[in-house]
Amino acid sequence: MKSIFSDLKHIIDGEVSNTKEELEAVSQDFGGIVQKQPQIVVRPQNSNDVSKAIKYAVAQELTISSRAAGHSLSGQSLNQDGILLDMRNLNQIYDFCPDELCFTSDVGVTWKQIVDTSIPHGVIPPVLTNNFEVTLGGTLSAGGLGLSSFRYGSQADNCLGLEVVTGTGDIVWCTPEKNSELFYHVLCGYGQFGIMTKVQNKLRKYRPLTRSYFLCYDDLNLLLNDEHFLISEGLVDGLVSLFSPCLLGLSRGSENKIKPLIQWFYRMQITLEVDSLNDINAEKLLSNLSFYRHIYTEDLTFDKFIQPIAQVSHPTNQANSWIDVLLPASKAKEYIDIALQRIPSFIDFRTIPVGSFCLLSRNNKMPMFPLPDDDLIVGFGMYPTVPKAQVRPVIEQLNLLTNLALQMGGKRYMATWVEFELPQWRLQFGDYWSKVNEIKSKYDPHGILNPGFFKYEQVAQTNVNRAYIESH
């Protein structure tokens, strides 16, 4: 009997490998928490290679997963004992049309490639994350959030078209008008319903200059009110907040246990994008806000402003147990207060980055990116990086905070650490959960695409198994 390696070498135009070094290189993701190892790595040269690999996986009853930069945190881009598609060789930009404000490219293209191409033309993707080394396919599969997402939605909301290979190996071009069901579920779908191979995406014109105000708050409620005001009135082009703890002493507490006395401060950064700095009426803008102190003003050209401040490191002995929760504005203060009280009990609160961002529901249209039932969404993130040997107690506490958010009507941004069982999946998608199960059975009837992250209802899995038996 032929080996999987020799079978795939015969039918794939791209690269096929099963060396120990290659398999180990794709056995972990950026999270460093989940470990899985495939039998084989395929680097497709084109969408036909992806189709052939999927059809082969169906015939051999193997699972198949897609990966590029591997920046997932919960093993979403990993595969156990099946085929791993490394999409990084699909890295060409085909049609770059600044006048039409769009481009078409492979999914393995990085956002850095797009930014470097677009900036000289005076255009930019509407939303950029804080890491340009990740790929279009990776972030569009997750959503992709940035400083301007309250205005433009997620990166997925700015997608115009996709070439997708379904779980049966069919190559389909889909848009909001054509094959729209597949389009709206592959975006933010974590490879569950099809594997993206090409992308058509929006661009926008940018203004040449930016001014950022760094404002400090000592009252969370005032911060949240000002965020709401700025976003609802459309007064800024970028907004993010970082939380900083100040240790004021130690208390023995009621049970004679040492407890840190912490005052949290909140730094909001708001950014304006302008043709001339003289266009800014700073007094009018800032006089309507209730900050404690104006810390700093920074003027940068737009091309410098959008660059990430620092490279994201990935030490091999560390785990990135990051989480983002999406909260209805009406519950944000209550939840954040609880979270900030709990953080010192399980993590070094002096080093963990904590912050918030905002979204407007009307600008986020992806059904696979569920949002709380509120016009204003407050994102709250905690980003601990800890030694792998110490990560389990940390993620147990983060899971408790996840459950609290779900109980309060919040949702999770699933690109970060997620450890859901069926009850959490039902809360995450609410009434839409049955549709998710239906779409899975329809476009991945053999249940081979990116397994292990989503956990479906038994009836959906039964339908998948029945479809597989009937096809054989």
pLDDT for the residue numbered 1: 38
pLDDT for the residue numbered 465: 55
- Please give the average per-residue pLDDT across 14-33, as a whole number: 96
Residue 40 has pLDDT above 90, yes or no: yes
What integer best gives the mean pLDDT of the chain? 94
Extract the runs of DSSP E, i.e. beta strands, from 203-311.
Answer: 204-205, 209-217, 238-251, 259-274, 293-301
pLDDT for the residue numbered 249: 87
Higher pLDDT, residue 339 or 351: 339
- Please give the average per-residue pLDDT across 289-308, as a whole number: 97
Residue 461 has pLDDT above 90, yes or no: no
The residues near 346 (Cβ < 8 Å, ≥ 6 apart) are 393, 394, 397
Confidence of residue 459 (pLDDT cuts 50, 70, 90): low
Residue 31 has pLDDT above 50, yes or no: yes
421-439: per-residue pLDDT in tens? Answer: 999 999 999 999 999 999 9
Confidence of residue 188 (pLDDT cuts 50, 70, 90): very high
pLDDT for the residue numbered 351: 87
Confidence of residue 196 (pLDDT cuts 50, 70, 90): very high
pTM: 0.94
CA distance 337 to 356: 13
The residues near 452 (Cβ < 8 Å, ≥ 6 apart) are 36, 75, 78, 80
pLDDT for the residue numbered 470: 52
Residue 355 has pLDDT above 60, yes or no: yes
Confidence of residue 472 (pLDDT cuts 50, 70, 90): very low
Inter-residue contact 231 to 376 (CB < 8 Å): yes
Query: Which of 65-79, 254-268, 308-322, 416-430 has the lowest average pLDDT?
Result: 308-322
369-394: per-residue pLDDT in tens? Answer: 999 999 999 999 999 999 999 999 99
Paired residues of 173 in beta bridges? 163
Residue 435 exposed, middle or buried by CB count within 10 Å (0-12, 13-18, 19+) = middle
